[in-house]
Amino acid sequence: AKRAGRNLVRVFDESMDESVRFRRQIETGLGQAMANGELSLVYQPIFARGGLEVVAFEALLRWCSPEHGMISPGMFIPVAEESGLIHDLGDWVVEEALEAAKRWPGQFVSVNFSPRQFRRQNFVAQLVAQVQRAGVSPNQLQIEITETALAENAERAADTLYRLRQMGFRVAIDDFGTGYSSLYNIRTFALDTLKIDSSFVDGMGRERESAAIVHSIIHLGRALGLEVVAEGVENETQLQALRLAGCSQVQGYYLSPPLVADDAVRLAEGGSVL
């Protein structure tokens, strides 16, 4: 019986979710990745005037692990969020993004923050210290935060957003329409930008529902005096439909993939990356 028990444990161990083991490796590896220079940022341009003008770049994290190759942020950000590593990681991202922003003539950088970062004590003060250290004006930095992070404690979130904007930072709600914030809350949030989730843009040409939602968000944004960015624009049809609907800004592979910093600088200076 003892033997069988031991075997059972072994079997369980070996069949233990590949994904659980992978997560554990990620957690350990991520701690060293920063020090080893395995992390980098790429920058996806955000366009105004139907693609004629670059107004900003969204910083997107990349991890090239010697063990696993390229690991998507969709995979490791949740692990970093759970383990608390997100704070050190996030600080690194902000510092790196601000260094890049210094090289652009007029564009700002838009950085993603996870809910745990947003809830951190001294979140605003920390950002103020970071822009000061970098010698960058706060309006060079946009904070992208999902509705879910804002919904958890709407009153506290509203206060944080208010203070961010008072300090001069820009604020965007990311993946708008997919989270849990209510219009009631939106009303109390100090914002600059709504980013329409790519799933709605993707569905626009196929389903009346997606098209209706895209139109509604654009109208809502305009009525509230906000910029509206459509994400995940992948073809000319979508671009035209968004332009007709009055969408002020667009982002997606059709316009440009995320770029390494040098290419982003070239594009920002009015050159071409092609």
User: Is 174 one of the binding residues for Ca ion (CB under 5 A)?
Assistant: yes
* Nearest-approach distance from CB 14 to ligand C2E, in angstroms: 31
Could you give the string, one character per residue 15-44, with x where binding to ligand C2E holds by CB under 6 A and - elsewhere?
A: -----------------------------x
Q: Which structure tokens are listed for 1?
A: 């019986």
**Interacting residue with ligand C2E among 130, 185, 198, 216 (CB under 6 A):** 198
**Interacting residue with ligand C2E among 71, 79, 93, 213 (CB under 6 A):** 93
Give the burial class of 248: count Cβ atoms within 10 A of its Cβ; 0-12 exposed, 13-18 middle, 19 or more buried.
Answer: buried
Identify the residue whose tokens are 């260094």.
99
* Nearest-approach distance from CB 187 to ligand C2E, in angstroms: 24
Instruction: Note the helical H segments in the chain.
Output: 2-15, 18-33, 73-83, 86-101, 115-119, 123-134, 147-151, 154-166, 183-188, 198-203, 208-223, 236-245, 261-268
* Nearest-approach distance from CB 246 to ligand C2E, in angstroms: 20
**Interacting residue with Ca ion among 65, 107, 112, 249 (CB under 5 A):** 112
**Interacting residue with ligand C2E among 26, 45, 160, 174 (CB under 6 A):** 174
User: Is 112 one of the binding residues for ligand C2E (CB under 6 A)?
Assistant: yes
Residue 181: φ, ψ to 5°: -80, 150
- In one-letter notation, the amino acid at residue 196 is I
Residue numbers of the site for Ca ion (CB under 5 A)?
112, 144, 174-175, 231
